Amino acid sequence: MFEIKDVDLAGRIGRLHTRHGVIETPAFFPVIDPVRQELPVAEVRSAGLSQVLTNAYLLYKRTGGAPVKVHDFLGWDGVVMTDSGAYQILEYGDINVTQDEILEYQKAIETDIGVILDVPTGNVPRERAAETVEETLRRARAALNTIDPESDETVWILPIQGGKYLDLVERSAREAVKLPYRMYGIGSPTVFLEEYRYDVIVEIIYTAKRILPGGRPVHLFGAGHPLIIPFAVALGVDTFDSASYIIYARDGRYMTEYGVYRLEQLDYFPCNCPVCSRYTPRELAEMPKRERTRLLALHNLHVIQKTVRRVKQAIREGRLWELLEETARRHPAARAALAKFRKYYRYLEAGTPTAKGEVRGVRAYGGESLWNPRLLRFQERVLARYQPALDGARRAVLEPLAKDSPCTPPGEGEYRAYYDYFIGVVPWELCGVYPSIHVDHGGPTLEAARHLENALIAFIHKLLKLGVEEVVVKGPAAALLARRRPPKTRLEY
């Protein structure tokens, strides 16, 4: 039902099989109203989307429970996910339909991906959050009397709850994996998205993902902002949904990959989608509200879709970390999210292939680049497990790695290693091993210099332990070591 085709960090490109076709993930599901579509589904399709999410509870209410086929009803031949009314619970309190009714209904309307009637946590006191976790689990177990997640044609999502209380998220995930669901959801981060608390969202995702089985797809509810998508995918989220594209549009808000504008704040559209190519902000502002909403919604969808495609391309290239760094520079909230990623290094490193088919350079921009698993992994291995091939040498020379001149073997009785700010120390015999000589950067930063200083000291101690009697450090790193010069080390500026 779910195949993983490519990976980078903990992100993946996958194929999710449903009864109405296959979608390639990561995939964004725009939320559409089952009855009143401000943006017609044909236009959703025109923005390159082949999947939507609609609300089974609203459909149930508006059709009086008639088991219409949801695809026919929407006029949509792609994949349909239905939410069960959880959002309405979050907004309006309890709803007057039982879980069994809404599960039977989702089956009857032939939804492709359905959700149990979970209780979203939202931003509530801890005690209430714990209740939502337990109640959601109770319903997940009870639902098994009505649905069979292992063999139903509908793929059933079990949402993980707990909100910002990470121990509750952990409990929710640990209990969830004991149940036979094939797909999981991460519940209700919407409140934190609205407050630009991306750091909280990435913590929630990481906490759940660490426990959920890697081979199963995971949905993130309510996330449809270009700034959060790269981070969510990098942690292993496969699908996500949101109504923000239309909610923002109604309110005259225009999404970009670096934040949201009000239409009247814009003199120019920084976008080439069909809407922005054709109209100016002023023309759009002067349109009747209905028309303006439709066009802004279409633009917003294009921006989200463009972000998803960029993330996929970055996974293909093995440059998802670089994309996160770029995204982090677009908004302080994104930067706070990336700062959290340092804590997740082991998890991200485990999913990062050493190299992909075609060798592409690693790009380093600043302090965050040092945590790029491709770079840090190389240096960790050199410093931890690696035994330099000394061959009896008693003298070692450390030189700067020059991009244009190849590493040369050392002379008789000598050992040689190279260094660079972002990769650290490269023993000459590992020169050429990816990514030793494949790092592109525009010069050192303070953090990179500190990183190199520590790496050099650790490496020199390693050499001394192995019997080297003299180490010579040449080039700019000599200055770095002036304050903390290791024993038997000569610095040649």
Give the active site residues.
83
The answer, yes or no, to whether the previous bond of 26 is cis (omega within 30 of 0) is: yes
Q: Which two tokens stand for residue 64?
A: 């009086």
Q: How far is the CB of 331 from Zn ion (least distance, A)?
A: 19
Q: Which two tokens stand for residue 152?
A: 């139903």
Instruction: Tell me which amino acid residue 219 is.
Output: H
* Rounded CA separation 24/355 (Å): 23
433: left (phi over 0), alpha (psi -120 to 50) or beta: beta
**Cβ contact 241:221 at 8 Å:** yes
Q: Is 276 in the site for Zn ion (CB under 5 A)?
A: yes
Stretch binding Zn ion (CB under 5 A), from 34-42, 128-136, 214-222, 269-277 = 269-277
Residues 6 or more apart whose Cβ sits within 8 Å of residue 225? 193, 242, 244, 255, 304
Q: How many residues bind Zn ion (CB under 5 A)?
A: 5
Full strand arrangement of the beta sheet holding 395-400: 424-427, 414-420, 395-400, 470-474, 489-492
Please tell me the total number of residues recorded for the chain in this structure. Answer: 493
Q: How far is the CB of 417 from Zn ion (least distance, A)?
A: 51
Judged by beta carbon, residue 109 or residue 297, the one nearer Zn ion is: 297
* Rounded CA separation 43/191 (Å): 28
Stretch binding Zn ion (CB under 5 A), from 73-81, 238-246, 293-301, 446-454 = 293-301
Q: How far is the CB of 302 from Zn ion (least distance, A)?
A: 5
Judged by beta carbon, residue 143 or residue 276, the one nearer Zn ion is: 276
Q: What are the Cα distances from residue 109, in Å, to 54, 71, 99, 285?
A: 12, 8, 15, 39
Q: Is 294 in the site for Zn ion (CB under 5 A)?
A: no
Q: How far is the CB of 366 from Zn ion (least distance, A)?
A: 30
- Helices and strands, counts by H and E, the chain: 20, 20
Stretch binding Zn ion (CB under 5 A), from 31-39, 67-75, 253-261, 291-299 = 291-299
Stretch binding Zn ion (CB under 5 A), from 254-262, 266-274, 323-331, 348-356 = 266-274
Q: Is 219 in the site for Zn ion (CB under 5 A)?
A: no
Judged by beta carbon, residue 219 or residue 299, the one nearer Zn ion is: 299
Degrees to nearest 5, angle at CA 169 with 164 and 170: 135
Q: Is 271 in the site for Zn ion (CB under 5 A)?
A: yes
Q: Is 273 in the site for Zn ion (CB under 5 A)?
A: yes
The answer, yes or no, to whether the previous bond of 435 is cis (omega within 30 of 0) is: yes
Q: How far is the CB of 308 from Zn ion (least distance, A)?
A: 15
* Rounded CA separation 394/457 (Å): 18
Identify the burial level of 492 via C-beta atoms within 10 angstroms of its C-beta, where 0-12 means exposed, 13-18 middle and 19 or more buried: exposed
Largest CA distance in the chain: 88
Judged by beta carbon, residue 270 or residue 411, the one nearer Zn ion is: 270
Q: How far is the CB of 330 from Zn ion (least distance, A)?
A: 17
Site for Zn ion in 149-188 (CB under 5 A): none
Name residue 6's beta-bridge partners.
13
Q: How far is the CB of 273 from Zn ion (least distance, A)?
A: 3
* Rounded CA separation 187/212 (Å): 14
* CB crowding 15-49: b at 16 or more within 10 Å, else e: ebebebeebebbbbbbbbbbeebebebebbeebeb
Q: How far is the CB of 278 from Zn ion (least distance, A)?
A: 9
Stretch binding Zn ion (CB under 5 A), from 88-96, 298-306, 312-320, 389-397 = 298-306
Q: Is 299 in the site for Zn ion (CB under 5 A)?
A: yes
Stretch binding Zn ion (CB under 5 A), from 76-84, 124-132, 180-188, 297-305 = 297-305
Residues in the site for Zn ion, rule: CB under 5 A? 271, 273, 275-276, 299
